[in-house]
A and B are shown apart, each in its own frame.
Chain A
Amino acid sequence: MRQALHILKKDVRHLWIEIAVVLIATGLLVFIDTPRAFWLSNAPLPQTVGATLVSYLLPVAWWILIVRAVHAETLTGDREFWQTRPYSWRSLLAAKALLVALFVNLPMLAAQAMIVQQQGFSLSAEIPSLLWNQVLLTVVFVLPVAAIAALTTGIIQFVVMVLVLFVSLMLLSMRFMMFAAAFVGGGWRAMEWIRTYYDLLVIAIGAAAALLWQYARRRTLGARVLAAGVAMVLAAGAPISWAAGFGIQSRLSRRAVAESAIRVGYNSKLEFTTRALIDRNQRVNLHIPLQLAGIADDVMVKTEGLVATIEGAGGAVWRADDHPWANAGSTGRLIALQTMVDESFYEKVKDQSVRVRGYLYVTLYGNPQVTKVPFGDRTVPVPGMGICAASAVPGAPYFLTCRSAFRPEADLVSVSFSASPDVVDYSPRRPISYSPFPAELSIDPVTPYVAYSTFKAPAPDAIQGRPLDAVTVEALEPVAHVRAPLTIDGLRLAQFEARLK
């Protein structure tokens, strides 16, 4: 330990400029974020731009510090003075880890703690999120950078290797497309955290192994092969299907719900919506309304996906299991199997009695919590939304402005700007995650959300009856993720046939 501290002291002395830049950038983050107006959406442009710049500047400042610290005792080659001095590799690695902990993690932890506290969140309640965010920051911003630095000689070689790894990763994998798909509504949506955490686990294990190996043995070629292997594993993506991912999610449910408790069948009341629509490409779009049984009235159902096998009486089979999230359409409790089959299959089975077997994947939302947010400057903690305030300016829409710390809640939220709380005016659309972890990776820990009415607040003299004094927010939390069996027998598709002309 004494040697580690000795090396650390040397690094601090020699990297004071890099350390100062990190501390200044971290300070700027606090400086910009804490006094920023509560309603971030209305923050002055310089502050918004400043916050964005700092959130980019900070990782770059961290990377430069980490790379320079690792390169102070370059691990590649055989010409470095320290390689023939009584350095213990454990002390050397500990010195670098301490430097990162002291000048990357600790200041960031303090900065985020100050920001969340200043913005009205309870610091003690946010401690798990603060700590978990440090874990994520370390895995994403520190470990891979330190590992690549350990495999390179100078900053130019480092940049080249980062570019090579990044481009290879993008070219090698179709993940780039999936990455892009995430922005336009990839199928995993709120379960995407499973694939993200798989990637993080691969990065953490791979980068830590490369680092340890390089520090302990200084076998650069072997460590580079290991890094390339990690990149290939990442490019290959998580070896897990959507259905298996849902299985994991299901095991993490807050409430255990037996699969057999929910039954899914044909919704004969909506038979008129059943369609077998033949399009111009000789494909047949099936739309089969479904009915769920066994769900309590106060439980809200969100359809996540559906897999089904359609079997004709003659033995012809069609499997709709490629993209489970695309096979189900839903509006509230109105759920339908929506899939496309080949016309040849359709022609074979359309006059037969068809059987549909499969599973409907749903998330059940319950435990409703209603909060009234009074108009004015007062902020109110709102389950599912974080901390909120409401504003009413005559002639302008009613506003509900909220902010959450570290991660959005997975709750379904509805906002009512009417005197009657039953009238839902707004359901904020925001990315949600079923992740069980307390934080998502963030530099700026606070995220704002805004909901507003589609109508304008009346002038005081135009109000009829009792004036509206608060916004009502109802939040339902996800309580269970259930795979419910789907069974339909005796469906004759020909009777629902329609042709697109």
Chain B
Amino acid sequence: MNYPIRTHALTRRYGGTVALDGLDLEVPEGSIFGLVGPNGAGKTTAIKVLMNLQRPSSGRAEVLECDSVRLGPSHFAQIGYVSENQKLPGGMTVEGFMNYLRPFYPTWDDALADELIRQFDLPRTRKLRHLSHGMFMKAAMASSLAYRPKLIVLDEPFTGLDPLVRDELIEGLLPRTENTTVFISSHDLSEIESFASHIGFLDRGRLQFSEEMGSLAARFREVEVTLERPAAIPQQWPATWLNAQQSAAVIRFVDSQFEAERTMAEVERLFGGGLQVAVNPMPLRAIFVTLAKAGRKAAA
């Protein structure tokens, strides 16, 4: 399998602060990979290193089989990068910007560019500096899709957008991801859970996990055990059971490695048999919050 993005022990420090701490990541070709994590987790730093906007302090990143620090024009001709913080030439009109970019890309598709402008309802003659945030992001997206890039890297593209614009962006992006790998960062899993095929969870610069959405949803379950009488949470608590909470005789936790038989056996070992146990699937947002809370608790 090819990996358009691959990092090994990637570390980025700012003075004494470690923003990325030994990141090992593989993004499969053709996937829509969501890199999620709370604010300050290191997502933007990771993307900036991948795009050669910053140099790694140590470790290595490869993008389209090229060391990220050597990315050049031939690579960027195959990469579409959109960031909420990006500065576009405000003095250009939407159409002027698209026309200006055209000669830079051998694969630029005029018809597609035109279609994107229409689909995003972009005002062709308005200067970029006069666009609303939503329009600005749509213009950035259109200018990054019009040459059918092999890799699309989106850094928090939906932040600050209303749901309508977010949906418009997604609707513009998804039909054009055939033969394309999409790497998208977000601090809100719900923004991308509907279309991401893979998820990586980054917290305090460390990758907590990286896997397919299907297996992620399958291995997280909220478990509720109703005891005969109130009892303390056992000391031998499995490390994969997160966010344990007790309310009278009810104990709730999230099993991050759920397998029905093994989980039930473990419950029986800790609390005894014949108990009432409820197992519920979790929405991805709840998984994300659980992981974030568990991470903070571990750090404290």
Contact = CB atoms under 8 A, between A and B. Distances in A.
B88 A85 contact: no
B289 interface: no
Nearest to A82: B89
A6 B87 contact: no
A2 B104 CA distance: 10
Contacts of B92: 14
Contacts of B74: 86
A84 B51 contact: yes
B103 A72 contact: no
Nearest to A7: B100
Contacts of B86: 79-81
Interface in B199-216: none
A281 to B, nearest CB: 58
Contact of A78 (B53, B73, B103): B53
Contacts of A84: 51, 53, 76, 79, 81
Interface in A59-77: 72, 74
Contacts of B219: none
Contact of B104 (A3, A14, A72, A80): A3
B295 interface: no
Nearest to A81: B88
A81 B87 contact: yes
Contact of A81 (B72, B79, B89, B105): B89
A3 B105 CA distance: 11
A197 interface: no
B123 to A, nearest CB: 19
Contact of A86 (B77, B83, B88, B89): B77
Nearest to B73: A86
A3 B48 contact: no
Contacts of A74: 87
Nearest to A6: B103
Contacts of B72: 88
Nearest to B103: A6
Interface string A77-115: 011110111111000000000000000000000000000
Contacts, number: 47
Contact of A10 (B81, B100, B105): B100
A14 B72 CA distance: 26
B233 interface: no
A88 B53 contact: no
Contact of B87 (A79, A85, A86): A79
B39 interface: no
A181 B81 CA distance: 57
A87 B73 CA distance: 6
Q: How large is the interface on B (under 10, 10 to 19, 20 to 34, 35 or more residues)?
A: 20 to 34
Interface string A344-384: 00000000000000000000000000000000000000000
B85 interface: yes
Contact of B53 (A6, A72, A83, A86): A83
A149 B108 CA distance: 32
A2 to B, nearest CB: 7
A299 B217 CA distance: 101
A81 B54 CA distance: 14
Contacts of A83: 51, 53
Contacts of A78: 48, 53-54
Nearest to A219: B55
A14 B129 CA distance: 14
A79 B85 contact: yes
A80 B88 CA distance: 7
A72 B89 contact: yes
Contact of B101 (A2, A14, A85): A85
A10 B98 CA distance: 12
A87 B72 CA distance: 8
Contacts of B101: 85
B91 interface: yes
A64 to B, nearest CB: 16
A274 to B, nearest CB: 71
B76 A79 contact: no
A74 to B, nearest CB: 8
B50 to A, nearest CB: 10
26 contacts: A2-B103, A3-B103, A3-B104, A6-B100, A6-B104, A14-B89, A14-B91, A74-B87, A78-B48, A78-B53, A78-B54, A79-B83, A79-B86, A79-B87, A80-B86, A81-B89, A84-B53, A84-B76, A84-B79, A85-B101, A85-B104, A86-B73, A86-B74, A86-B77, A87-B73, A88-B72
Given A10-B100, A14-B91, A84-B53, 17 more contacts: A2-B103, A6-B100, A6-B103, A14-B89, A78-B54, A80-B86, A80-B87, A81-B88, A84-B51, A84-B76, A84-B79, A84-B81, A85-B76, A86-B76, A86-B77, A87-B76, A88-B72
What 5 pairs across the A-B complex have the smallest Cβ distances? A78-B53, A86-B73, A84-B81, A86-B77, A86-B76
